[in-house]
Amino acid sequence: MDITMTVHALETKSVVKTYQSDFGTIYAVADVSLQVTNGEFVALVGPSGSGKTTMLSILAALLKPTSGQILIDGQDVSNMSDIERVAMRREKIGFTFQANNLVPYLNAVENVELMLRLNNKLDKAGKLRARELLARLGLEERLYNLPGQMSGGQQQRVAIARALIHNPSLVLADEPTASLDTERAYQAVETFAGLIHEQNRAGIMVTHDLRMCEFVDRVLQMQDGKLVHEYQGHEEIMRFINNSRN
């Protein structure tokens, strides 16, 4: 009998990240195991210092775990060389962090096209997709503006477009709505979620604004470096959001 193994877009196995201090070993991430499938958008939430941003940096292949495995499309990132990790980030991962890191001398379209250029995929279709993606994020009138000519919120939306443009297997976002007003935040996350579902990508968003969890498929709650709760399904997630407000 043929048995087909399910390869998750992302899987972590007992991931640990420790730091040494004068007071002993500090566990920034403690034995975290999770799976995210294609077409699934997951929120990672928790108080400041809970380990969620450290975990996201590990998933982005920016930090190496102290122990454990990170598998992206079945490939073990944790044992890769530095060169292999750079290639993995460039080809398989899209990410945007609070500091959007746009190139100051490139306009909005050029910043988004940069990921295609780095992967040798900047063709006519890619250029059109970059413009369409920016338009979906409400930036159709800012295509040729430099970052310094845009507001912080507009810059963040350019960074979101850049994270999605090269069709990565895994999309990671650290507080993608931090500099957006409520209306634009909802628009950005709803578009983010829609694109992840449409393109069958896996997405993880770290957010302190629990209202944004309305658009995700699951919520994973961290505390003291550990995953302590999971909420899934729209009704359960909305109860979590409402209870957190009380």
Judged by DSSP in three states, 153 sits in: helix
CA distance 189 to 213: 9
Name the residue with higher pLDDT: 153 or 3. Answer: 153
- Determine the 3-state secondary structure of 174 from DSSP: strand
User: Which of 134, 95, 97 has its CA nearest to residue 115?
Assistant: 95
- For 81: left if phi > 0, alpha if psi spans -120 to 50, otherwise beta; the answer is beta
Query: What percent of the chain stands above pLDDT 70?
Result: 97
pLDDT per position as a tens digit, 64-98:
999 999 999 989 998 888 899 999 988 899 988 77
Place of tokens 């909305």: 238
Determine the Cα–Cα distance for residues 138 and 134; give it in Å rounded to an integer.
Answer: 7
Instruction: State pLDDT tens for residues 48-64.
Output: 999 999 999 999 999 99
229: Cβ–Cβ under 8 A, 6 or more apart, which residues?
Answer: 219, 220, 221
Q: Is the pTM above the cut of 0.85?
A: yes
